[in-house]
Amino acid sequence: MLRIGPYSLKNRLVIAPMAGVTDRPFRKLCRELGAGYAVSEMVASKPDLWQTPKSMRRMNHDGEHAPIAVQIAGNDPAMMAEAAQFNVSRGAQIIDINMGCPKKKVCKADAGSALLRDEALVARILEAVVNAVEVPVTLKTRTGWSPENRNAIRIAKIAENAGIQALTLHGRTRACDFDDGTVEYDSIRDVKANVGIPVIANGDIDSPHKAKAVLDYTGADAVMIGRAAQGRPWIFRDTGYFLGHGSLPAAPTTQEVAALMDAHLQDHYALYGNDTGVRSARKHIGWYTEGLPGGESFRDELNQLTEADAQLAAVRRYFARLADSHDTLPLSPYPVAGVETLH
């Protein structure tokens, strides 16, 4: 069982921190559906951004189960240390440091995966944050800045020496993220073999079968699932069952999905309010209904609605109609091809 500091997680399944996606309502839902651990959306280290509505929502952990993990991003050791302290004061029980984000906006600010170009700065940031707080500190990173500049093992050893208590490794370089490069499961396996801290494997884990294959191949302590959970958060339930039984559970019923969507949307509106809530909920509803009968025309209808009550009522009507003809949600099967060869 994965352990981070004093926290023993209930399983080896982690929901990835995804900006604009892994907010408090979605984290709670994924935890309820089987994720053993969740990390918040990235919070900037600049103090002048902490009081913005976006940051305040990201730092809202009401009703979340322990351990509450908050990811911070920046490039200044002192500011990162201060950000860690501030988030601990607001309830964070684990601090995660982002050195993996490939987005241009983040990298242009010399944060995220751009930090992998300066190993000395990486060490200073990690040491500053670890020394600033009494809670466990973890790190999310990549295999390097580019295929010509892979340094995952060196970064992992720097992290271990600095006191980092778990490492999440996305198996791509920053450059490869933009050409959809193949995930380097060999690199994850090599990092796991070279450090003593827990390693969480991340990258293209899109099915229970893939999760098991990655765990077996890399020896990682856990897997982190991101995009595959969008619209299908029960992937954690299915993966946990598959790891334990070697088979998949029954697909969720249409009524079960309707109920969890209903609860998810109400929690979403409570956090964001009407205007922002309606706009930001559209992507979640779109993911839930992608590939379902009548889903495309329903999404077109949905984009015309501006009130939360109307949006929720439309979702309820859609799933009520779907339930009339489908007891079990007509989902596309999980992909299984390619799990035999991961490198």
Q: Read off the pLDDT of residues 22-34 as tens digits, 9 standing for 90 and up.
A: 999 999 999 999 9
Asked if residue 169 is part of any domain, the answer here is yes
Task: Give the pLDDT confidence score for residue 55 in this predicted structure.
Answer: 80
Q: Considering 30, 101, 107, 176, which one is annotated as catalytic?
A: 101
Residue 309 shares a structural domain with residue 288: yes
Residue 211 shares a structural domain with residue 306: no
Residue 188 shares a structural domain with residue 303: no
Rounded to two decimals, what is the model's pTM?
A: 0.94
Neighbouring CB atoms inside 10 A of 121's CB total: 16
The domain tally of the chain equals: 2
The tens digit of pLDDT for each residue in 253-303 reads: 999 999 999 999 999 999 999 999 999 999 999 999 999 999 999 999 999
Asked if residue 57 is part of any domain, the answer here is yes
Q: What is the CATH number of the domain that holds 224?
A: 3.20.20.70
What are the helix and strand counts (H, E) for the chain?
Answer: 13, 10
Asked if residue 330 is part of any domain, the answer here is no
* Range picked from 140-149, 161-170, 293-302 for highest mean pLDDT: 161-170
Asked if residue 12 is part of any domain, the answer here is yes
Residue 59 shares a structural domain with residue 186: yes
Asked if residue 341 is part of any domain, the answer here is no
Backbone angles phi, psi at 161, to 5 degrees: -65, -30
Residue 68 shares a structural domain with residue 170: yes
Domain of residue 195, residue span: 3-245
Residue 149 shares a structural domain with residue 195: yes
- Contact criterion met (CB below 8 Å) for 310 and 183: no
The b/e string for 229-242 (b: 16+ C-beta within 10 A; e otherwise) is bbbbbbbbbbbbbb
Residue 300 shares a structural domain with residue 230: no
- Contact criterion met (CB below 8 Å) for 305 and 314: yes
Residue 240 shares a structural domain with residue 285: no
Asked if residue 331 is part of any domain, the answer here is no
Tell me if residue 101 is catalytic: yes
Asked if residue 174 is part of any domain, the answer here is yes
Task: Give the pLDDT confidence score for residue 31 in this predicted structure.
Answer: 97
